[in-house]
Structures are given as structure tokens and as C-alpha cells.
Amino acid sequence: MERLSQVLSGLALTAVLGATPAMAQGAEFSLGGGLTLPLSDFGDVSNTGWHGLAAVSFAPSSFPLGIQIDGMYQRLGVEDFGGIDSDISTQIIQGTANVIYKFKTSEDSQFRPYLIGGPGVYNFKATGGDAGDGESSTDFGINAGAGFDVKLGSVGAFIEGRFHNVFTEGSDLNFIPITLGVRLGGN
């Protein structure tokens, strides 16, 4: 346990020391969360859920294109069939690598719209007391969406929606997370 504490302390110190140079180079760190809306066949068996997002992005202020690497954790309830209550939910852990296109706005504007999209890796797992052994599957997918930032110096807020299509055996899984969050750093 003491060794784990030392490792975690070392990682925290490294993150703190590395954050200042990364921010000086234009990196933005994002934290957010919101609703996840299952669609199509996935929506037939899952309820609306929730998610949390952590991301780092690099977007030079003089160029409209940037990149964002993000991770998301999602949990969606499973529909009750025939009035039978069950303790099952779907857990999704994903990582995506995205290109960001930031629309040109005036220097005085605090409202900054953008488009985002790219490939990702998605892990699905049934969880809960009635989920059995909780088998999981990992598949590739793509996402695309839009959002906007409201910048106030080096801190800002954002809201975005993205359509995710995960290539699975049989029919693809589709869902839309709607995220509200904060961004720290950047130019």
C-alpha cells in the first residue's frame, strides 16, 4: 500500500510540474460530463445514461486545425423487459483521437464554435448484480460533432454533442453524448 501511495504521489507531482510547460505551449485540459443518448438498436435495449470526459488538446491560435485526445467513461441503464426489474447497466470506456476545426472569430469574441471528429477504441461491458460474469468487448469506431467554447482568459466553458458509431459484429452501436465542461490553459 505504501508503494502505491509513493507511485501516486510521484504521478501527481509529475502532472503538476508538467502542466505549466504544457499550458505555455498552448495545451488545453478539459473536464466535463453530461447525458449519453443511445440510438437505433442500442436505444432499444439501453436507457439514457451519463458520462464523464477528460481531454487534452493542442490548437495553435494562428491555425484553425488542432488535435484532441480524450477519454470518456459512460454508464447506461438497460431496459426492463416484460416488467422484470434487473440490476444491469452498460459501461463504456473509450478513447478517441480527434481533429478539431475552430471557426475564425474576432479577437474580441468569447464565443468560439468548432467541429470535432476522429477514430476511437470503445470497450463495452455489462455490469451490475444481474450481469453474470460481465463479459466485455472492444471495438473500433468513429465520432463527429460540433460544439462551442466560451473563453474567459485561460479558463473557459464548452458544450458539445458528438455522434459515435462503433463497428460491432451485427449492427453498429450508435450514441450521442452531450457534454458540458471546463477548459483550462490554451492561448
3-class SS string, the chain: CHHHHHHHHHHHHHHHHHHHHHHHCCEEEEEEEEEEEEEHHHHHHECCEEEEEEEEEECCCCCCEEEEEEEEEEEEEECCCCCCCCCCEEEEEEEEEEEEEECCCCCCCCEEEEEEEEEEEEEEEEECCCCCCCCEEEEEEEEEEEEEEEEECCEEEEEEEEEEEECCCCCCEEEEEEEEEEEEECC
pTM comes to 0.81
Q: What is the pLDDT confidence band of residue 126, given thresholds at 50, 70 and 90?
A: confident
Specify the CATH number of the domain 32-185.
2.40.160.20
Lowest mean pLDDT among 20-29, 110-119, 138-147, 160-169: 20-29
Give the per-residue pLDDT at 19: 42
9-42 pLDDT, tens digit each: 444 444 444 444 444 457 999 999 999 999 999 9
Q: Where are the domains of the chain?
A: 32-185
